[in-house]
Amino acid sequence: MSKKNKQIAAIKGTKDILPQEARKWQRVEAAAKGIFELYGYREIRTPVFEATVLFEKGTGQTTDIVTKEMYTFIDKGGRSLTLRPEYTPSIVRSIIEHNLHLRPQPLRFYFIGPMFRFDKPQKGRYRQFHQMDIEVFGEKDPAVDAEIVEMADFLLQRLKVKDRQILVNSVGCRKCRLGYQKDLRASAEKVRERLCEDCQRKIETNPLRIFDCKVDTCREISLGFPVITDYLCPECREHFDKFCSYLDGYGIEYWIEPRLVRGLDYYTKTTFEIVSSKLGAQDAVLGGGRYDDMMKDFGGPDMSAIGFAVGMERLLSLVPYEEEREIFVYFVWLGDEAKRAGMKLARLLRREGIECLIEYRDRSLRNQMSRADKLGAPRVLIIGEEEVKKGTFQIKRMDTGEQKEYRQEEILDILKESAQK
Ligand code: AMP
C-alpha cells in the first residue's frame, strides 16, 4: 500500500472491542452491576473530561499520573482540560457540586467507563482502558473497608477468577506520615546515587512514591527502607487491626504487604489490591483504599471515603471464556409475497423478545439455507408460496433437521419453547 493510502489504524495503546469480545464485557458488567446493587450501590456517571486542576489537586501533584501520564489539552475556549485518568476526583467534585452529601449516609456509588493514561503500552497496560469503580462516602468504620474487600472477592469468585491474592496495608494518616517520611527520606538519601533519576527527585517531593517505581533496582533497594506500618498512630493502628479482624471474621485469606502504597497521593489508612500471577508484570486486577481527607481538601464536608477500581481489560483476561448459545431465528423465503409476510411476522416476534434475522436479497432457497448454516442459526423459519396461501410457516431445527408446519398463532409458543432447549 502506498504511503498516501496508508490505512488509518487505532491509536497506540487503544483497542477495538469486537462483537464476540463485547459479549463477554456485557456479561462481566452485568454480573458486577448485579453484585454492586446487592450491596446498596447505585450508578453515577460523570463526564469523560474535566478541568485539569481537578486531577492535579485530587490525584496529587507528585503522582506519576499527574506528572507524566495525563492527556491534557487546551480546548477552543482556552481552558485546560484533561481526559480523566481515574474516577475518584470526578465523583468527589460531583458530590460537592450537587450537594449529594445531604442525602442519608453512607453514599454508595458505582461507575463503569473508560480512563486515559499516557503510559508505556504493554500487556495489561493501555492508554485507553476501562475501570469499574465503587466508592463509599460517610462511613469511618473499618467494617466497610472489610465489606468492600469481601465484595471485590465475591465478584472475582462469581466470575470464576482463580488464582487471586488479596494484599492489604495501611498507609496511615497525615499525622503518622510525618515521622515516617522523615525516616524514609533519610534512608533514601543514603542510597541516592543508586536510585533512578525519577526516584532521586521523589526523595524531595514525596519519598513514599519511590515504592511506585517500576525500575528493578529501585524496587530492590526499597525493600530495605522502613515501612509505614511501623509508624502508625494509635488511631490508624486500631483501624488497621479491626479491618484485618473483620476480614478474619469473613474467613477471607489475605496478605499484609507493608510496601503497598498504591500510586495515588490521597490514600489514608487502608490500601489493598487483588493480584493474580496469571497477569504477568502488571499483576493487579483491582486496587483501592481509603481517602478520608479528599472531600474536605476540595472544600466539601468532612466526610470519610473509601473505594476501589477494577481494571476491566485485566479482569476480562482472567475470566474464563463461556460459549454463548445463539438463539436467533433466521427467516428464509421464496417470492416477494413471502418476503413481506416474513417482514410482518418478524416485526411481531421481535416485540415478543424473539431475535429475528431476515434475508433481504432474493437468493435461492439452497443459498439462503447455507447462509443460515454459516451464521450458526439454530432455527430457520421458511416461507414459500404455498405457506403464504395457507397463512402458515415452516420451522426447521438445524441440529436435528426436523421441520414442521405451524399456523401463525402457534409460532410464538413454539419458538419460545425451542429457545429453552
Ligand atoms: P489505579 O486507578 O491506578 O488504582 O488502578 C486500578 C486498576 O486499574 C489496576 O489494578 C488495573 O487493573 C487497572 N489499570 C490501571 N492502569 C491501567 C492501564 N494503563 N491499563 C490497563 N489497566 C490499568
- What is the per-residue pLDDT for 264? 79
pLDDT tens for each residue of 143-191? 999 999 999 999 999 999 999 999 999 999 989 988 999 999 999 999 9
What is the 208 CA–ligand 1 centroid distance (Å)?
Answer: 19
- pLDDT score for 381: 96
Nearest C-alpha to atom 12 of ligand 1 is from which residue?
Answer: 311
- Would you state the cell numbers that stand for residue 177, as one nine-digit string? 506520615
Residue 3, pLDDT score: 60
Give the pLDDT band of residue 206 (cuts 50, 70, 90).
Answer: confident
By the 10 Å C-beta count (0-12 exposed, 13-18 middle, 19+ buried), 420 is classed as exposed
Tens digits of per-residue pLDDT, 380-397?
999 998 999 999 999 999
With the most atoms of ligand 1 within 8 angstroms of its CB, the residue from 214, 282, 285 to mutate is 282
Name the residue among 381, 376, 419, 372 with its Cα closest to residue 403. Answer: 381
> Computed over its alpha carbons, how large is the radius of gyration of the chain?
28
- List the one residue out of 145, 146, 136, 139 whose CA is nearest residue 41: 136
- The identity of residue 10, as a single letter, is A
- Cβ atoms of 130 and 145 closer than 8 Å: no
Count helices and strands (H / E) in the chain: 15, 16
Q: Is 299 left (phi over 0), alpha (psi -120 to 50) or beta?
A: left
Compute the distance from residue 311 Cα to the ligand 1 centre, in Å: 5
Q: Got the DSSP string for 38-96?
A: HTT-EE----SEEEHHHHHHHT-TTSHIIIII-EEEE-TTS-EEEE-S-SHHHHHHHHH
232 C-alpha to center of ligand 1: Å?
27
Predicted local confidence at residue 281, as pLDDT: 81
Q: What is the atom index within ligand 1 of the atom nearest the CA of 117? A: 19
Distance from Cα 272 to the centre of ligand 1, integer Å? 13
**pLDDT, tens digit (0-9, with 9 covering 90-100), for 342-362:** 999 999 999 999 999 998 888
Give, for ligand 1, the residue of 131, 149, 270 to mutate: max count of ligand atoms closer than 8 Å to Cβ: 131
